[in-house]
Amino acid sequence: MDAGLAIAASGMVAEQLRQDQLANDLANASTPGFKPDESEQRDFGTVLLANTQGGAPVGTLDESVIVGPTFTNMTPGPIQETGEPLDFAIEGSGFFSIRTPEGVRYTRDGQFTVSSAGILTDASGNPVLGPSGQEVHASTGTALPASAIGVFEVTGAKKLGENLYTGTPAGSSKSDVRSGALEASTLDAAKAMVEMVSALRSFQSGQQAIQTIGQTLQEAATQVGSLPT
């Protein structure tokens, strides 16, 4: 494959991935406790400079755009008062523990409700667990002490979707829990929109580069075919 085509194609793939991430982030701009995803993009020049500074070998030459692993920015978000008795926000690190049909999962979304059986649940109807891993009993419209909600440290937290995470529990968290409040999404919607436009323009630039290279290759093939024998 032509090197220019490979470079342009890799850039388009990277920008498409970024657009997908930004679209999902913007769709959850108002979701309590939501954390945006990010992927590091590096070109060969960046890799070369980093290895020159650290002294590590550069490795094989690859001029394409390199997309690193996707990670979730777990920076705590601002706390917003709601006045709702079953809303809870974690001030600091840690996760609420939720029992799902697939096993125990974790979330920063403290917008809870009460089932018909009087069990505290998340928006999907999964039971919220207390400090000892037990289900929490509550009544609709009645305030629940923050101490009744379990908050746990989790190592290797990985986003699963539906604002849930999986990971390895690492004991109870020392973070405070505020009742009548929710942690807001940490997404900067204005910045994400700017990045979306930038990613789209970069994608379009890759398309134009591929079209130009294609025309050049076609003209070269035509000229070679028309050479006198």
Q: What is the SS3 assignment for 141?
A: coil
Do 174 and 103 share a structural domain?
yes
- Residue 88 CB neighbour total at 10 angstroms: 27
33, 8: one domain: yes
Please state the pTM of the whole predicted model: 0.75
Would you say 205 and 212 are in contact if contact means Cβ atoms under 8 Å apart? no
Query: Are both 111 and 149 inside the same structural domain?
Result: yes
Number of structural domains (the chain) is: 2
pLDDT for res 139: 85
119 shares a domain with 23: no
Residue 53 — pLDDT band, cuts 50, 70, 90? low
Q: Which residue is associated with the tokens 């018909």?
A: 116
pLDDT the model gives residue 6: 77
Domain match, 151 and 192 both? no
191, 144: one domain: no
| Residue 64 pLDDT > 80 | no
Q: Give Cα 167 distance to the centre of its chain.
A: 15
Same domain, 109 and 146: yes
**Above pLDDT 70, what percent of the chain?**
86
Q: What is each CA distance from 164 to 30, 37, 104, 111, 175, in whole angstroms? A: 16, 13, 10, 13, 19
How many helices (H) and strands (E) in the chain?
3, 12
Residues 92 and 166 in one domain: yes
Say yes or no: 89 and 67 in one domain.
no
| Structure confidence at residue 98 as a pLDDT band (50, 70, 90) | very high
| Average pLDDT over the chain, rounded to an integer | 86
Nearest-angstrom CA–CA distance, 153 and 57: 37
Domain that holds residue 47: 3-73+187-225
**Burial per residue of 90-125, b for 16 or more beta-carbon CB atoms within 10 angstroms, e otherwise:** beebbbbbbbeeeeebbbbbbbbbbeeeebbbbeee
Clarify whether residues 95 and 150 are in a common domain: yes
